[in-house]
Amino acid sequence: MEYRIVKDTMGEIKVPANAYWGAQTERSRTNFNIGPHASMPLEIIHAFAYIKKAAALANNQLGVLETEKKDLISTVCNEILAGKLDNQFPLVIWQTGSGTHTNMNVNEVISNRIHVLQGNKLGEGQLFVHPNDDVNKSQSSNDTFPTAMHISAYKMVVETTVPGIEALRDTLKIKSNDFKAIVKTGRTHFMDATPLTLGQEFSGYAQQLTNSIRAIKNALEVVRELALGGTAVGTGLNTPKGYDVLVAQKIAEITGLPFITAPNKFESLAAHDAMVELSGAMKRCAVSLMKIGNDIRMLNSGPRCGIGEIIIPTNEPGSSIMPGKVNPTQSEALTMVCAQIIGNDVAVSIGGSNGQFELNAFKPVIIANVLQSARLLGDACASFNANCVIGIEPNLPIIKEHLENSLMLVTALNTHIGYENAAKIVKKAYAENITLRKAALELNLVTNEEFDKWVKPEDMIGSMD
């Protein structure tokens, strides 16, 4: 590989000849060879492109950056956003906790790309746009990286996470309506309980996701607040008056998302409570999905020796040795994703708790976990919805058989013959393997006509609304 020599305040270093990055990026690439496949998420890089473009526009409008430089910076930022320079960002998550290396990686790439666009060769001549003085004008890594965290997380959640959850929630609502008249046995403690409808059961799942969506959207209200303009410690040193408000407006215009400047930049740099809240909301959804995914695979269990009250789509063979076996693979994938998201939240919580004085220095690991959770959550919901829930059908004969065999229908007799007498019926029916009706008649606790009148599963399910 051919190299060129570049310099920074620490001296000379070799950089790959065709790389747009410079000395600070290369030092990080060399010094942090930790998990080489754990690259800084491209969502962060693209968020930085929004930041650098917005900063150039704001600085130009406020009279501290020349129009030609503003236009050149904007041009390269557009290239980054189009994915044309994705291979120029080689750094890993495990770097400085402020994300300074990634901020400088972006600054250097923009500066050197401009140099080439002006007809120059890398490593030759003076840079027209300086990575620190121009691309990073009115900025610090300490306010740009948290801003990139918020931009990337907000975009991911509104574009991938929430739509995926909403699609699954909407399908569950449809199933709830479709199944509203199907009376089945309920279960508590994995044991038979009083009846409900399959629709009521599915309505609970839909409500869980409705609540999760609300929690996530509430968390986004703080995530839309941007730290940019706080610079090094939150004071806004080296920024022109009005820059923080203006640059947030520019980011909102470029992204089409409702970003605003944070009301307190000291909090934005020193703490990442917004990320902790968002991660917690996604964990809440993962907990809900763990329950939903497990319920669906257990309701489908069998096909002959399990519960078998619903039928899920048969997507692929389930065994390399057992012919004809089909497994609830979408539930398995979903619940594994849930486990990962719950684990990610632990890392985010630890990271969020480690702000010291004017800076939290766990920024890269926080946002890497938040973005992974957001992507996994949206994708897993979309997959579970399309490949499982849409195709769920009730297994009516099995539902009827289970309902008729349930001993807990005796609960309907409580108000007529008392709890203790009803318990006697259940114990006799279970011990002698006979029906509730037969046990009740043999004990002379009810008549045949009374049993027909009082033990009606369809009357035991409450409101159908």
Active site residues: 189, 319
Burial 87-96, CB ≥16 within 10 A → b, else e: ebbbbbbbbb
With beta carbons less than 8 A apart as the criterion, state whether 105 and 89 touch: yes
111 known ligand binder: no
Euclidean distance between CA atoms 86 and 451, whole angstroms: 73
325 is in an annotated binding site: yes
Residue count of the chain, please give it.
465
Is 320 labelled a binding residue?
yes
The strand pairing partners of 192, in sequence order, are 187
Establish whether 459 is an annotated binding residue: no
Is 131 annotated as belonging to a binding site?
A: yes
Q: How many CA atoms lie within 13 A of 57 on its CB side?
A: 19
* Residue 447 annotated as part of some ligand binding site: no
- Tell me if 152 is assigned to a ligand binding site: no
The amino acid sitting at 305 is C
- 142 annotated binding-site participant: yes
Residue 98 annotated in ligand binding: yes
Query: How many of the other CB atoms lie within 10 Å of CB of 396?
Result: 13
Check the annotation: does 100 bind a ligand: yes
Residue 288 labeled ligand binder: no
- Is 188 within any annotated ligand binding site? yes
353 marked ligand binding residue: no
The pair of three-digit structure tokens given for residue 199, joined into one six-digit string: 């629709």
Assess contact for 297 and 367: CB atoms under 8 A.
no
Q: Binding site: what residues are annotated?
A: 98-100, 130-133, 140-142, 188, 320, 325-327
Q: Binding site for substrate: what residues are annotated?
A: 98-100, 130-133, 140-142, 188, 320, 325-327
